[in-house]
Amino acid sequence: MNAIISASELASDLAGENPPVLLDVRWQLSLAKSAGAPPFDGHAEYLTGHVPGAVFVDLDRELASAPGAAGRHPLPDLAQFGAAMRRAGVTAGRPVVVYDGGQGWAAARAWWLLRWTGHPDVRVLDGGLPAWQGELSTREPSPPEGDFEPVPASEGLLDADGAAALARTGVLLDARAGERYRGDVEPIDRVGGHIPGAVSAPTTENVGPDGRFLPREELRDRFKALGATDGTAVGVYCGSGVSAAHEALALAVAGIPAALYVGSWSEWSSDPERPVAVGADPQ
């Protein structure tokens, strides 16, 4: 099953006999450390217009736990995550389609969490809301309670030690911008740089100018050039486990399974005992 869906395919599915549950996960990362600018309000954006029937899901409150030693977007409490998904109408027997404002990172986080906790049919709207050509609604729906019970998989999740080991024995991709990987700048976390052995692979290079994913073969070629070949264990991290989920989604589109280090650089860099590499060289 493809991990993404086009806007035309979504319109067709919504008119079908078993329409998908729609989740709107609008969210925006602020790199500014200084106070002053009001925080991004995804729910307010949702209320200005969303795909009809979509339910808003709050990334910070429902797809992550509170920031702390485990990073800025640690795994959510699974009981609370399950309750949020059931509130949104998610059931095991209906497909789910997730979208955001177009960047794809937040939608990918929801996609990854649902897949990792056992939902069999989850896709991300390629290009997000800007790709949708149908009407928009300002009405907030109240879907029937879903029955989804999250059961985490035994694989697909990395901790700090697992990420460090994978950087030595397989391929660990760093999905952040190159300047953060190199340590030229670090607008959020304690220190700049990357996990020793990790390979720079900005997730922005997985999409075209319209925000949609590159064709499958182009993605396969890109990841192959980065060392992610058949039979190689692959992992991904970023700043806080959000844009890395988008890279994991790109890898899934390319047919390459990958594990996600959810704590990512925000967890890794918070411990001064962990080694930090700087510059363009993985080591």
- Residues 16-58 have pLDDT tens digits of 999 999 999 999 886 544 455 678 899 999 999 999 999 999 9
The answer on 106 and 15 residing in a single domain is: yes
The answer on 110 and 8 residing in a single domain is: yes
Q: To the nearest whole percent, how much of the chain has pLDDT over 70?
A: 97
Amino acid in the structure at residue 180: R
Which domain does 208 fall in, by range? 157-268
The answer on 196 and 93 residing in a single domain is: no
The answer on 247 and 204 residing in a single domain is: yes
Phi, psi angles (nearest 5°) of residue 55: -110, 135
Distant-in-sequence, close-in-space partners of 196: CB < 8 Å, separation ≥ 6: 164, 167, 275, 276, 277, 282, 283
Please check whether residue 140 lies inside any domain of the structure. Answer: no
Q: Report the interhelical angle of 243-253 vs 105-116 (nearest 10°).
A: 70
Catalytic position from the list 70, 238, 256, 260: 238
The answer on 120 and 11 residing in a single domain is: yes
CATH, residue 47: 3.40.250.10
pTM of the model as a whole: 0.96
Based on the residue annotation, tell me whether 113 is a catalytic residue of this protein: no
Please check whether residue 62 lies inside any domain of the structure. Answer: yes
The answer on 13 and 68 residing in a single domain is: yes
Q: Report the interhelical angle of 216-225 vs 243-253 (nearest 10°).
A: 110
Please check whether residue 136 lies inside any domain of the structure. Answer: no
The answer on 189 and 106 residing in a single domain is: no
Please check whether residue 254 lies inside any domain of the structure. Answer: yes
The answer on 164 and 119 residing in a single domain is: no
Lowest mean pLDDT among 136-140, 228-232, 270-274: 228-232
Please check whether residue 168 lies inside any domain of the structure. Answer: yes
pLDDT of residue 32: 46
pLDDT tens figures, 218-269? 999 999 999 998 889 999 999 999 999 999 999 999 999 999 999 999 999 9
Please check whether residue 147 lies inside any domain of the structure. Answer: no
What one-character-per-residue DSSP string does 242-260 give? SHHHHHHHHHHHTT---EE
Number of structural domains (the chain) is 2
For the four alpha carbons of 161, 249, 266 and 151, in that order, the dihedral sign comes to negative
Nearest to 24 by CA among 134, 112, 140: 140
